[in-house]
A and B are shown apart, each in its own frame.
Chain A
Amino acid sequence: SQTIHQWPATLVQPVGSPLSLECTVEGTSNPNLYWYRQAAGRGLQLLFYSVGIGQISSEVPQNLSASRPQDRQFILSSKKLLLSDSGFYLCAWSQARPPYEQYFGPGTRLTVT
């Protein structure tokens, strides 16, 4: 069966510090991968998605970036965090064909202080 991992689970970082969140998927190959951010009590905002190694689509211009160095690894990064980067970050995967049901990791709670 497929499993998706995210780490760390929680993170407290000062403004201006770098960020690296990692997501890995097991049990499937060539998945689509997604990064979302969820503000408290709100819906999901799609940040990036990837349909293959090195292929990244950005949905929201901001100081975040994403990379996919391996088929089942997706990394969310920032060189300098802003207060507004605080939130709940979720990674998800789907099969690379319709209907694109998504399966989510446990999330990372990021607090920028």
Chain B
Amino acid sequence: SQQGEEDPQALSIQEGENATMNCSYKTSINNLQWYRQNSGRGLVHLILIRSNEREKHSGRLRVTLDTSKKSSSLLITASRAADTASYFCATNFGNEKLTFGTGTRLTIIP
């Protein structure tokens, strides 16, 4: 399967701390995207990193990509209660489809 896998499956941290979640995949990609899903809602696109990029920032989000290890990490700094959600990585192999991972469930403890 080309499906990405997130690690950890679940993460609980105190508000204000940083949260890091990881994604691994198996074959060469065109780009990798991160999405957030609040409980019972649709997914929201957060950030995209292309295969020739190593790091991208967007507000409190920092994404890194290591194509040699076929892995990516998403860092959320200064977490807030509103960051409580599931986070998914999705890989694009150059066609119209995305392959989603199994997700990391993040809980921010006030």
Chain A residue with minimal CB distance to B10? A41
Q: Does B69 contact A (CB under 8 A)?
A: no
B42-81 CB contacts (< 8 Å) to partner A: 42-45, 48, 50
**A100 and B96 form a contact (CB under 8 A):** yes
Task: Tell which of A49, A96, A102 has the most Cβ of chain B within 10 Å.
Answer: A102
Give chain B nearest CB distance to A10 CB in angstroms.
10
**B96 and A104 form a contact (CB under 8 A):** no
Distance A46 CA – B44 CA, assembled complex (angstroms): 17
Given contacts A99-B48, A104-B43, A106-B42, contact A43 B101 (CB under 8 A): yes
Distance A24 CA – B67 CA, assembled complex (angstroms): 36
Distance A41 CA – B97 CA, assembled complex (angstroms): 22
* Chain A residues proximal to chain B, CB less than 8 Å: 32, 34, 36, 41-44, 46, 49, 51, 88, 90, 92, 94, 96, 98-107, 109
Interface size class, chain B:
20 to 34
Chain B residue with minimal CB distance to A9? B40
Interchain Cβ contacts under 8 Å between A and B, 11 examples = A34-B97, A43-B102, A46-B97, A49-B96, A92-B42, A99-B30, A99-B31, A101-B45, A102-B45, A104-B42, A106-B42
Contact of B103 among A43, A49, A92, A101 (CB under 8 A): A43
Query: Please, which residues of chain A bring their CB within 8 A of the CB of B88?
Result: 43-44
**B40 and A107 form a contact (CB under 8 A):** yes
